[in-house]
């Protein structure tokens, strides 16, 4: 199998395609796109309203973001043993998506333009890599543990590799990379002079008591860490996230960030400050809610907590499906009215899976997962 994908056109992500398809079907249930059903907490909304009424949001902020939010993030990172200078090592971005776009543009050059992605990984990455003018090269994760195929990784990296882009925890599998895997990636990054973009948008949504290590805590030199307010605080529509890395690297990324967005939405930066001020409480509530949803989804699908398909983070189940020569997710949608995402959206090695989002309305999760289980059992 050729795992190199030099994409030559944009495609609408299969996640959005399935979401749209289900909207056209009467009484359908969408478990496709990763949107939690709950609203942004009031304490965050109120802070945004206050900032608007106080006349604080009309003008651009510095491209790096408001000083106050960067100082708060620097303090939070320091509590976790990570030292970043708020002035030039932390940027506020318009979502993790923009942070990734800026990081890719800052890191690639004409002869260093290959980006390693894991298969599976977040469906949006492929277009992001393409739009940055780079080439995606997939390295498989091995089912059922979704561990990194280290020999494939070693064979894939070269002096043309600019970065490896990791979803950690991963979307769609909810799995996390082990310390040993991260150390191996760092060793290769040092050898071949590439960087690790660690997309940690789900790191507040680890639902079990498992050890999560950010590669940024293992190497400040080689890692750009990205974290978003989108998932932790039900703020996908606010478009606010942050990234941090060592000074020289961030200096390369700043012009790209400035060219793409000028600055993150200022009203959302004020909202994010309130999220930071109430971090532990609000993220605990989100985890509590998602655990409930996971229990409902897994009990309908008959996935036990010790099963490999039982997700430990984020709000997705990546479910193996019967092998057929057509898109199983579309077949499920046509025959049951339940929309999921085909595994192929997440990489070239995943066509016999579907992704189910259990962050959606709990009654719909229950009904949808029950129907999917029955359909697969009777297939
Ligand atoms: C792994 C991953 N990274 C990034 C994003 C986009 O995040 P944001 O809303 O912060 O742009 C998503 C959204 O689903 C995601 O799953």
Give the phi and the psi of residue 104 in degrees, each rounded to 5.
Answer: -60, -45
From the CB of 32, is ligand 1 less than 6 Å away? no
- Length, in residues, of the chain: 379
Ligand 1 centre and the CA of 122: distance in Å? Answer: 8
Q: Which residues, including other chains, have CB under 8 Å from residue 351's CB and lie 6 or more apart?
A: 342, 343, 344
Q: What pTM was estimated for this model as a whole?
A: 0.95
Q: What ligand 1 atom has the least distance to the C-alpha of 100? A: 4
135 close to 81: Cβ distance less than 8 angstroms? no
Q: What ligand 1 atom has the least distance to the C-alpha of 228? A: 10
Pairing label, strands 241-244, 90-93: antiparallel
Pairing label, strands 135-142, 114-119: parallel
Element (H, E) at 314: none
What is the rounded end-to-end Cα distance, in angstroms, of the chain? 28
Tally Cβ neighbours within 10 Å of residue 304.
Answer: 9
159: left (phi over 0), alpha (psi -120 to 50) or beta: alpha
From the CB of 19, is ligand 1 less than 6 Å away? no
Atom 15 in ligand 1: which residue has the minimum CA distance?
Answer: 122
From the CB of 241, is ligand 1 less than 6 Å away? yes
Give the C-alpha separation, 268 to 161, whole Å.
34
Q: Which residues, including other chains, have CB under 8 Å from residue 219's CB and lie 6 or more apart?
A: 186, 189, 196
DSSP-based three-state secondary structure for 110: coil
From the CB of 282, is ligand 1 less than 6 Å away? no
Ligand 1 centre and the CA of 112: distance in Å? Answer: 25
Beta strands in 44-203, from DSSP E residues, in sequence order: 90-93, 114-119, 135-142, 147-148, 161-167, 195-199
Show the tokens assigned to 74. 């620097």
Closest CA to 116 of 90, 134, 96: 134
What is 236-293 written as a DSSP string? TTT--EEEE--HHHHHHHHHHHHHHHSS--HHHHHHHHHHHHTHHHHHHHHHHHHHHH
Give the C-alpha separation, 34 to 143, whole Å.
22
pLDDT tens over the chain, length 379 residues:
556 554 456 677 888 889 888 888 888 999 998 877 799 999 999 999 999 999 999 999 999 999 999 999 999 999 999 999 999 999 999 999 999 999 999 999 999 999 999 999 999 999 999 999 999 999 999 999 999 999 999 999 999 999 999 999 999 999 999 999 999 999 999 999 999 999 999 999 999 999 999 999 999 999 999 999 999 999 999 999 999 999 999 999 999 999 999 999 999 999 999 999 999 999 999 999 999 999 999 999 999 999 999 999 999 999 999 888 678 999 999 999 999 999 999 999 999 999 999 999 999 999 999 999 999 999 9
């Amino acid at each position: 199998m050729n795992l190199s994908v030099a994409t030559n056109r944009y495609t609408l992500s299969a996640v959005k395609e399935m979401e749209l398809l289900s909207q056209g079907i009467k009484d359908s249930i969408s478990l496709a796109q990763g949107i939690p059903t709950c609203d942004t907490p009031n304490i965050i909304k109120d802070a945004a309203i206050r900032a608007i009424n106080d006349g604080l949001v009309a003008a651009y902020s510095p491209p790096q973001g408001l000083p106050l939010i960067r100082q708060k993030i620097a303090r939070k990172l320091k509590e976790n043993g990570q030292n970043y200078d708020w002035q030039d090592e932390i940027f506020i971005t318009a979502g993790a998506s923009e942070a990734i776009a800026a990081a890719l543009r800052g890191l690639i050059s004409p002869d260093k333009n290959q980006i390693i992605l894991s298969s599976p990984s977040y469906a949006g990455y492929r277009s992001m890599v393409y739009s940055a003018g780079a080439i995606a090269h997939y390295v498989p994760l091995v089912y059922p543990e979704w561990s990194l195929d280290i020999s494939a990784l070693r064979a894939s990296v070269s002096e043309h590799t600019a970065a490896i882009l990791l979803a950690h925890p991963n979307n769609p599998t909810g799995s996390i990379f082990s310390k040993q895997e991260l150390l191996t990636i760092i060793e290769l990054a040092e050898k071949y002079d590439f960087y690790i973009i660690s997309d940690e948008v789900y790191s507040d949504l680890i639902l079990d008591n498992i050890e999560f290590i950010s590669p940024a805590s293992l190497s400040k030199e080689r890692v750009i860490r990205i974290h978003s307010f989108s998932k932790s605080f039900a703020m996908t529509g606010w478009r606010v996230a942050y990234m941090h890395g060592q000074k020289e690297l961030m200096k390369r990324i700043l012009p790209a960030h400035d060219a793409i967005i000028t600055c993150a939405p200022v009203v959302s930066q004020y909202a994010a400050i309130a999220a930071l001020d109430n971090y532990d409480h609000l993220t605990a509530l989100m985890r509590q809610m998602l655990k409930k949803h996971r229990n409902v989804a897994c009990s309908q699908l008959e996935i036990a907590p010790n099963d490999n398909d039982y997700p430990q983070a984020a709000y997705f189940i990546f479910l193996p499906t019967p092998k057929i020569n057509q898109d199983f997710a579309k077949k499920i949608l046509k025959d049951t009215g339940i929309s999921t995402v085909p595994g192929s959206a997440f990489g070239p090695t995943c066509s016999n899976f579907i992704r189910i989002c259990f962050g959606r309305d709990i009654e719909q999760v229950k009904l949808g997962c029950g129907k999917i289980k029955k359909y697969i059992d009777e297939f």
